[in-house]
C-alpha cells in the first residue's frame, strides 16, 4: 500500500501566543480532491502552508509524501517540495515578465542557478511552456506581458506554471477569490480536469461553498483552528456549513 500524500497527527500551530490550528489530525490519499472550507481566519492558509512544507508545526507530527519535513536537510526538503505545487489567490507571478518566463518558473526547483539566470535572457523550454499554456486554454499568450492579462488568464498562467513543475499534488489557496465570478467556474473546472488527466491530488481552500460541493469529493470544515467535520461532500449538510460560518455572539 502506498503512503498517504499527507499525514497530520495532532498538529498545533501557534503564532506567538495565538493558536491558529489546534490538534489537527488528517490524511490525504493519492488522487483525492479535498476542499478546505471555513470562515476567514479559520486556519486554511496555515494548513496549506504546513502541507507545502513552508511552515513547521509547533506540536504534533506532519508527514509530506511519507517524510517528516522537520527531520530533512534543506536539500531533501526541497526535493519533497518540488512534488508539491501551490497555486495562490494572488497568482504570485512577476507582472512585467512575459508569460513564458512565469510558466518556466515551474522548472526553478530543478534548474541550476546558471540555467535559471540564462532563462531570463533566452527563454528555455519553449515547448513545455507552450504545451502547458495550451492545456490551460491560453496557447496564444506565450509571449504576452503577464500584466496585460485578465485575472482569470493570470490564474491560468499560474496553473500552467504548476503543470510545468509537474508535482504529485496541487495545493490551491483560494484560487478563485481574485477572479471574476463568471470565470470562477471555468478555473475550478480546469483545475479538476487537469488533476484528473495528469493524476494529481488536489487540496483547495475555497470561500465559495458551491464549488466545494460541485468540484471536490471530500470537505474539511475548519473553524477557529479546529476541524469541525471531515466528510465526503455528499454528507455535508447545509446545517453543518451554517454552523461553520455562524457568527459567535461574542464576535457579533
Whose Cβ is closer to ligand ADP: residue 49's or residue 98's? 49
What string marks each residue from 190 to 209 as x (binds ligand ADP by CB under 6 A) or -? --------------------
Whose Cβ is closer to ligand ADP: residue 43's or residue 106's? 43
Helix intervals (H) in 52-150: 74-81, 99-104, 113-121, 126-135
Residue 89 near ligand ADP by CB under 6 A: no
Whose Cβ is closer to ligand ADP: residue 38's or residue 167's? 38
Residue 20 near ligand ADP by CB under 6 A: yes
As measured in angstroms, the least distance from the Cβ of 54 to ligand ADP is 11
Distance CA 187, CA 136 (A): 9
Q: Is the dihedral of CA 129, 173, 206, 148 positive or negative?
A: negative
As measured in angstroms, the least distance from the Cβ of 40 to ligand ADP is 4
Closest by alpha carbon to 162, among 251, 70, 82, 51?
Answer: 82
With CB under 6 A, what is the number of residues at the site for ligand ADP?
Answer: 11
Whose Cβ is closer to ligand ADP: residue 42's or residue 191's? 42
As measured in angstroms, the least distance from the Cβ of 110 to ligand ADP is 29
Q: Which of 2, 17, 18, 113 binds ligand ADP (CB under 6 A)?
A: 18
What string marks each residue from 37 to 76 as x (binds ligand ADP by CB under 6 A) or -? -x-xxxxxxx------------------------------
- 3-class DSSP assignment, residue 38: coil
Cell (9 digits) for 51: 502541507
Site for ligand ADP in 98-117 (CB under 6 A): none
As measured in angstroms, the least distance from the Cβ of 77 to ligand ADP is 20
Question: Do 211 and 185 contact (CB within 8 A), yes or no?
Answer: yes
Helix intervals (H) in 111-199: 113-121, 126-135, 151-165, 181-197
Question: Do 27 and 190 contact (CB within 8 A), yes or no?
Answer: no
- 3-class DSSP assignment, residue 75: helix
As measured in angstroms, the least distance from the Cβ of 78 to ligand ADP is 22
Q: Which of 10, 15, 61, 199 binds ligand ADP (CB under 6 A)?
A: 15
Whose Cβ is closer to ligand ADP: residue 44's or residue 215's? 44
Distance CA 161, CA 135 (A): 11
Distance CA 21, CA 132 (A): 35
- 3-class DSSP assignment, residue 206: coil
Cell (9 digits) for 79: 526535493
Whose Cβ is closer to ligand ADP: residue 13's or residue 195's? 13
Residues that bind ligand ADP (CB under 6 A): 15, 18, 20, 38, 40-46
Amino acid at each position: 500500500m502506498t503512503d498517504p500524500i499527507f499525514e497530520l497527527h495532532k498538529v498545533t500551530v501557534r503564532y506567538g501566543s495565538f493558536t491558529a490550528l489546534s490538534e489537527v489530525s488528517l490524511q490525504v490519499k493519492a488522487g483525492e480532491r479535498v476542499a478546505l472550507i471555513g470562515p476567514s481566519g479559520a486556519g486554511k492558509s496555515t494548513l496549506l502552508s504546513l502541507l507545502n512544507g513552508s511552515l513547521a508545526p509547533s506540536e504534533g507530527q506532519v508527514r509530506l509524501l511519507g517524510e517528516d519535513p522537520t527531520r530533512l536537510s534543506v536539500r531533501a526538503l526541497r526535493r519533497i517540495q518540488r512534488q508539491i505545487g501551490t497555486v495562490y489567490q494572488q497568482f504570485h507571478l512577476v507582472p512585467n515578465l512575459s508569460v513564458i518566463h512565469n510558466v518556466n518558473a515551474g522548472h526553478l526547483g530543478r534548474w541550476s542557478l546558471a540555467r535559471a539566470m540564462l532563462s531570463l535572457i533566452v527563454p528555455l523550454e519553449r515547448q513545455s511552456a507552450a504545451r502547458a499554456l495550451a492545456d490551460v486554454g491560453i496557447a496564444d499568450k506565450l509571449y504576452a506581458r503577464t500584466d496585460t492579462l485578465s485575472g482569470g488568464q493570470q490564474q491560468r498562467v499560474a496553473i500552467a506554471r504548476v503543470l510545468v513543475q509537474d508535482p504529485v499534488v496541487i495545493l490551491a489557496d483560494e484560487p478563485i477569490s481574485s477572479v471574476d465570478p463568471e470565470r470562477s467556474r471555468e478555473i475550478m473546472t480546469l483545475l479538476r480536469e487537469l488533476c484528473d488527466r495528469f493524476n494529481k491530488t488536489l487540496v483547495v481552500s475555497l470561500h465559495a461553498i458551491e464549488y466545494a460541493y460541485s468540484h471536490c469529493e471530500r470537505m474539511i470544515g475548519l473553524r477557529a483552528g479546529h476541524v469541525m467535520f471531515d466528510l465526503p461532500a455528499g454528507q455535508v449538510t447545509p446545517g453543518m456549513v451554517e454552523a461553520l460560518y455562524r457568527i459567535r455572539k461574542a464576535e457579533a
